[in-house]
Amino acid sequence: MKSPYQALKKIIEDARQLVVFTGAGMSVPSGIPDFRSEQGLYQQNNERRLSPEELISHSFFKKFPEDFFAFYKEKMCYPNAAPNNGHLYFADLENKGKNVTVITQNIDDLHQKAGSKVVYELHGSVHRNYCTECNQFYNLDYILEAAGVPHCDRCEGIVKPDVVLYEEPLNPDTISQAINAIMMCDVLLIIGTSLKVYPAAGFIRYFKGRYIVVINKEATPFDNMCDLVFNEDISQVIEAIKK
């Protein structure tokens, strides 16, 4: 009888179109904390005693930009983080000719750093930043090196990260691309996400393929729909299927 890891390896090998749907747990092995675990951002105290959900909301950004950027720079940006074996595994599959599409809720660019080429970023990226007045582009270093609130060196407007804050809608083109990829794939791997954040979690219901697999430390509301469920760290699962 095949072990669950052998079964997963076979599913991946036989996949014609593989979609990898990732959340914060995908990047935890790279040293980036998630939101909802015991060590996640939701459990961390802050001076205002507000939840990260409030601190990284559009209204907080508008009303209290100094406090927003103080939290954002310290808790949301990890410029030295490197791709872990999970990011590298799926990038390698794509580079070897496998049809792999990544849909990620993460804003860290680690899939791209690993070498993945087809990546749909549902929540944007910390590495893209634009002036709210003239739309001038700035990289992450500009944000991190700014004293307090980053301002445009051309028009003095506030430079906002190209990330989807709470209260903001997802990009409709990215939504369309992500849903289409899920509808067309025959294998869907869901990695490191609680599947509790909507509308992204609802995309799973568009899957019509053969196999759906969840790799997440905690149970998700969609586990009963899955062919395989691993309540483990992604790095451990990747090591097991590579043996």
Find out whether 24 and 35 touch, Cβ atoms under 8 Å: yes
- The rounded distance, in Å, linking the Cα atoms of 148 and 157 is 14
- The rounded distance, in Å, linking the Cα atoms of 123 and 166 is 10
Which CA distances in Å does 133 have to 82, 121, 151, 234? 33, 24, 10, 41
Burial class from Cβ neighbours inside 10 Å (0-12, 13-18, 19+) for residue 97 reads: exposed
- Beta bridge partner(s), residue 102: 20, 119
Query: Is the N-terminal amide bond of 199 cis, ω within 30° of 0?
Result: yes
CB atoms within 10 A of CB 33: 17
123 is catalytic: yes
For residue 18, the SS3 value is: strand
CB atoms within 10 A of CB 80: 7
Find out whether 40 and 91 touch, Cβ atoms under 8 Å: no
Of the listed 87, 123, 127, 151, which one is catalytic? Answer: 123
Find out whether 38 and 208 touch, Cβ atoms under 8 Å: no
> Residues with catalytic annotation?
123
